[in-house]
Amino acid sequence: MISLSWNSSFEPNSLDADKHIAALMAAYRELPRHIARKHLGAAMRRVLRPGVSILRRNTPPMGITRGRRKKGEKARSTGALRRAATVRVGQTGTNRAFDAFVYGVLGYKAGMESRKAIWLEFGTGTGGRAFRMMEKTVAEFGSVAASKLAAEMAAALEKAAKEVGGGQNPGYAG
């Protein structure tokens, strides 16, 4: 999960990427909030979208324990769990609140598939082994997403400034 807060008390770490993201968030605070939220969400989605294929690759094929395969045959069923891998981007709070934030989550769709994902991630009490698929995905994709975030936020900031300058989407003021 990645979250970006509107709160001005953000203290970046000593990393240059954190300082760059803090400077970009300060620039986003100057924009009308409805436009800034829209473009931040789009940037977050563009950053996390490649992670879906990595998560699907790390998800074990379902049907491994049911039925029998011929000797040497690979499990071909990808199952509904792999299809349920998705990116969810959302926002909390209102446009006026300074405690609101934009978040992005790489995971599985809600329902039975997310329950299966929890069982496979941590194992079960009755002997089901843990596959640690989210742990592998974060190890493989986390640093890539963090490095792309600042670049995507800068590109989205240019698009947002163009939208404000062009008079498009004035919100309730127009």
| pLDDT score for 106 | 94
The sign of the torsion formed by the CA atoms of 58, 63, 65, 68 equals negative
Q: How many domains does the chain have?
A: 1
- Residue range 85-103, pLDDT digits in tens: 999 999 888 766 667 788 9
Question: Tell me, what DSSP letter sits at residue 96?
Answer: S
- Domain span at 149: 2-62+79-108+134-159
123 assigned to some structural domain:
no
**Is residue 122 in a domain?**
no
pLDDT < 50 positions in the chain: 9-10, 12, 65
* Contact yes or no for 35/169 (Cβ under 8 A): yes
pLDDT of amino acid 65: 47
pTM of the shown model: 0.79
Is 167 part of a structural domain of the chain?
Answer: no
Identify whether the C-beta of residue 87 lies closer than 8 Å to the C-beta of residue 104.
yes
Is residue 165 included in any domain, yes or no? no
Question: Per DSSP, what are the bridge partners of residue 4?
Answer: 102
Residues 32, 33, 34, CA angle at the centre, nearest 5°? 95
Q: Is residue 121 part of a domain?
A: no
Q: What is the pLDDT of residue 45?
A: 96
Tokens linked to 117 = 């994902």
Q: Is residue 93 part of a domain?
A: yes
